[in-house]
């Protein structure tokens, strides 16, 4: 049985999609600060969230990063949409 994971969602979204993305994030996560959400999520719900997100955003101008934590020293960072800056690699 897969356990819940903890994830952070950070975004920079065009104004036309902002409300939709905010509402979707609020469905799965707790609002933390402006364009940051976080919380526990099952692997199945995370896949569902990403699929719904991909239907909403404009990949040419919108930018979303999802950081999924699997334990104290293990995580995954995924970018959906345009990657304005190459992400830093973090070594723990």
Domain that holds residue 34: 19-63
- Alpha-helical regions (H) of 43-92: 43-56
Checking if the pLDDT of 36 tops 70, the result is yes
Average pLDDT in the 55-77 region? 90
31 occurs within a structural domain: yes
Checking if the pLDDT of 90 tops 80, the result is no
59 occurs within a structural domain: yes
Half-sphere exposure (CA, 13 Å, Cβ side) for 89?
1
Report the number of distinct structural domains present in the chain: 1
29 occurs within a structural domain: yes
32 occurs within a structural domain: yes
Token pair for residue 37?
């959400």
Average pLDDT in the 62-66 region? 94
Between 12 and 70, name the one with better pLDDT: 12
78 occurs within a structural domain: no
90 occurs within a structural domain: no
- Alpha-helical regions (H) of the chain: 15-28, 43-56
What's the pLDDT band for 28 if we cut at 50, 70, 90?
A: very high
């Amino acid at each position: 049985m897969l356990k819940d994971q903890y994830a952070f969602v950070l975004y920079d979204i065009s104004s036309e999609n902002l409300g939709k993305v905010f509402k979707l994030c609020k469905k799965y996560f707790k609002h933390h600060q402006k364009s940051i959400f976080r919380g526990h999520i099952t692997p199945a719900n995370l896949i569902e969230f990403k699929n719904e997100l991909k239907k909403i955003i404009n990949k040419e101008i919108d930018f979303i990063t999802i950081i999924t934590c699997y334990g104290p020293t293990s995580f995954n960072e995924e970018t959906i949409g345009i990657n304005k800056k190459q992400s830093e690699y973090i070594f723990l």
